Chain A
Amino acid sequence: MTMHQLFKSRLTMIVAVVVLAALLPMFFPSAYYYRVAALVFVFALAGIGLNLLMGYTGQVSLGHAGFIGIGAYAVAVGPTHFGLPPWLSFLVGAALSAAVAYLVGRPILRLRGHYLAVATLGFGTLLSIVFTNEAHLTGGPDGMAVQRLLLFGWAARGSETWYWISAISFVIGAVLAVNLMDSPTGRALRAIHDSEVAARVLGIDVAKKKLTVFVISAVYASVAGSYLALFNGHITPEVSGFLRSIELVAMVVLGGMGSIAGSLVGAAVIVMLPQVLSFLHDYEHMVLGLIIMAVMIFLRQGIVPSLTAMLARRHP
């Protein structure tokens, strides 16, 4: 497929998502469905960021939930302990995530393969420990309540409201990501994935580019985390935990690395599965573990790329 065709097909993907998001509520029998769909869009948003880092640039982060945690706790702690309005705390959280990503990313992005994987894992778990221990700020393991988002006197509450907020945000995030990939920066990132040494020899500052995409992916996660907290009205350190980070990676791989639509599909599966399998609640970890293993062993290419490849074979 030519670059033009690829971009056009991505554009159509975005249009498809917009149409989907607009029409989906017609099928929602109750507020509960709005809630699930909102969660899907929120996690898919974090997934886009992780996709930019893993799918396009070929890096890995097994600690990304840490940034979700920063965003979540920013909107919790800011209003409660510092008197900042939620919208400002939201921005502070994003800035903080970017700063942390910048500081931590510089040394660890020099690493590759499982070294990088474990470094990010260590970093994510470290954040999680901080959120658990700093109880005077964060409320400890039981978490804390989150004030509702107030914009010009209007309170953002309710599953329906958050459905639209998260769907629109997802579309914006997707557009930004697609823009990035169809640009000089995007080509450089994709090149880095295939051969860092060749990229360097062509004049690309590989270290800087990797750091850039790491910071961008952290901001995506932070935004998602803030939404999660504002939506639920309550957060616990679990939101930044090891399991969440692993789920996020599973979403991206399952949906398809390097596929924006895949972020949505992957998030949908991972978010909705516990709902669908609620009768298997006691077996939650067993099922999650099996899914992760199955995805990594058999569905490594991801759902969306596999489907598009299948369709391409039928209609060359």
Chain B
Amino acid sequence: MTILAVDRLSITFGGVCAVDAVSFGIPQGLVFSIIGPNGAGKTTLLNLISGLYLPQDGRVLLAGEDVTGWVPERLARRGLSRTFQNLQIFFRLTAIENVMVGRHRHERTGLLADLLHLPAVGRQNRLTRQQAAAALERIGLQAMADRPAGSLAYGDLKRLEIARALATEPTLLLLDEPAAGCNAVEAAELEGVIRAIAKDGVTVVLVEHNMRLVMNVSDRILVLANGRTLAEGSATEVRADPAVIQAYLGVHGAQEAGHAGG
């Protein structure tokens, strides 16, 4: 099944066409990467898909349903989740509380129950905390659980955001430059995380600059430049594409990409 289909999606900001009639489809369970030079429109594309921007043209289909123009809250209910290029961590909350908020969509108590702290609320709190703790353990952050998120290291915060997004039990996860600012070790760990996520059946859309990571985990790659599709295909196909090499990878970059697995 095509979990995400994007059909001639376009948006213009103040005269600049940031995303220009981009179309692609992603079968369920794939790791799909979007790469391209800075300003190519990758994050804008993610923002369009996740409902933060309203497209001026084109459609977005989630599991066959037309979700064009839907707000993020509604998309979340359909199983879409994402992380952000500029961290949107809840800094005043602890690490575990951040992930607990990720469980919000599955929590079942109402306002009145919350105000009165009925027994169901206590049970829900405990359940949510358990689930959040498990999520933190899966990503290796259980030691930081009760520390204020603001005190965590940058790399940990990136992982925390992923854990939080996963807590919503998404069917489609958008990752916006999760390896930005990570060193080689952290990026390699991230590879493992993404593979594990895909193995659980979650479709992953990855926007990244780290070519090693992209080439290692991606099943398909879309290359954007100037808001338009430059190329689309498997890792091997894309890195051999002369247009991609010219616009983005460069000869050296293509060689490097070739040295990465896959």
A interface residues with partner B (beta carbon < 8 Å)? 1-3, 176, 179-180, 182-188, 190-191, 193-195, 197-206, 212
A-B contacts, 8 listed (Cβ < 8 Å):
A179-B121, A180-B114, A184-B114, A185-B111, A187-B100, A191-B90, A198-B88, A202-B165
Kindly state the separation between the CA atoms of A52 and B149 in the bound complex, as whole angstroms.
Answer: 21
Q: What separation, in Å, do the CA atoms of A195 and B52 have in the docked complex?
A: 14
Q: Which residue of B lies closest to A175 (CB)?
A: B117
Q: Are A191 and B101 in touch, CB under 8 angstroms?
A: yes
Question: Which chain A residues border B128 with CB–CB below 8 Å?
Answer: 184
**Taking A179-B117, A184-B124, A187-B100 as contacts, is the C-beta distance between A197 and B109 under 8 angstroms?**
no
Whether B129 contacts A202 by the Cβ 8 Å rule is no
With a CB–CB cut-off of 8 A, which chain A residues contact B105?
202-203
**Interface membership of B102, Cβ < 8 A:** yes
Are A202 and B97 closer than 8 Å at their CB atoms?
no
Selected interface stretch from B2-10, B12-20, B74-82, B184-192: B74-82
Partner of B90, one of A1, A186, A190: A190
| Chain B residues positioned under 8 Å from A199 (CB to CB) | 101
In the bound complex, how far is the Cα of B125 from the Cα of A122, in angstroms?
Answer: 39
Beta-carbon contact of B114 and A186 below 8 Å: yes
Q: Convert B109-138 into 0s and 1s, putting 1 for each residue whose CB lies closer than 8 angstroms to a CB of A.
A: 101011111000100110011000000000
B199 interface residue, CB < 8 Å from A?
A: no
Chain B, Cβ-Cβ closest to A197: B88
Q: Given A3-B94, A187-B104, A203 and B168 touching (CB < 8 A)?
A: yes
Residues of A within 8 A of B52 (CB): 197
Known: A183-B125, A184-B124. A197 touches B72 (CB 8 A): yes
Q: Contact check, B111 vs A191: say whether CB atoms are below 8 A apart.
A: no
Task: Name the A residues within 8 Å of B164 (CB-CB).
Answer: 202
* Residues in A neighbouring B71, C-beta threshold 8 A: 200
Nearest A residue to B128 via CB reads: A184
Q: Which residue of A lies closest to B92 (CB)?
A: A194
For the complex, is B146 an interface residue (Cβ under 8 Å from A)?
yes
Alpha-carbon distance between A166 and B110 when the two chains are bound, in angstroms: 28
Most chain B Cβ neighbours within 10 Å, of A3, A185, A195, A201: A201
Docked-complex contact B81 and A194, CB < 8 angstroms: no
Instruction: Provide the residues of chain A in CB contact with B84, threshold 8 Å.
Output: 197-198
Q: For the A-B complex with A3-B146, A180-B114, A191-B104 known, give 10 more contacts whose Cβ atoms are closer than 8 Å.
A: A3-B97, A176-B116, A183-B117, A187-B101, A188-B104, A194-B91, A198-B90, A200-B73, A201-B76, A203-B73
* Interchain CB contact (< 8 A) of B73 among A182, A194, A205: A205
Q: Hey, which chain B residues are within 8 Å of A203, CB to CB?
A: 73, 76-77, 104-105, 168
Which residue of A has the minimal Cβ distance to B71?
A200
Q: Which of B195-221 contact A (CB under 8 A)?
A: none
What residues on A are CB-neighbors of B50 within 8 Å?
Answer: 201
Minimum CB–CB distance from A315 to chain B (whole Å) comes to 17
Bound-state CA distance A203–B52 (Å) is: 13
Distance (whole angstroms) from the CB of A170 to the closest CB of chain B: 16
CB neighbours (8 Å) of A201 from chain B are 50, 72, 76, 81-82, 88, 165
Q: Which residues of A contact B97 (CB under 8 A)?
A: 3, 187, 190
Contact A183 B89 (CB under 8 A): no
CA distance A198 to B101 in the complex (A): 10
Q: Are A188's CB and B101's CB within 8 A?
A: yes
Complex: A241 Cα to B96 Cα, angstroms: 42
The answer, yes or no, to whether B107 is at the interface (CB within 8 Å) is yes
B144 within 8 A of A: no
B93 at the interface (CB under 8 A from A): yes
Most chain A beta carbons < 10 A, residue from B82, B97, B104: B104
Assembled-state Cα–Cα distance A4/B102 (Å)? 19
Which residues of the partner chain A approach B82 to less than 8 Å between Cβ atoms? 201
Report whether A184 and B109 are in contact in the complex, using a CB–CB cutoff of 8 Å: yes
Expressed in whole angstroms, the Cα–Cα distance for A195 and B102 within the complex equals 13
The interface residues of chain B lying within 8 Å CB-to-CB of A188 are: 101, 104
User: Is the beta-carbon distance between A1 and B88 smaller than 8 angstroms?
Assistant: no
Decide: A183 near B121, CB < 8 A? Known: A2-B146, A198-B88, A200-B71. yes
Question: Chain A contacts of B72 at CB under 8 A?
Answer: 197, 200-201
Q: Which of B88, B92, B111, B129 contacts A3 (CB 8 A)?
A: B129
* Contact partners of A191 in chain B: CB under 8 A: 90, 93, 101, 104
Q: A209: nearest residue on chain B (CB-CB)?
A: B111
A203, B168: Cα distance in complex, Å: 8
Separation of A196 and B111 alpha carbons in the complex (Å): 20
- In the complex, residue of chain A having the shortest beta-carbon distance to the beta carbon of B106: A203
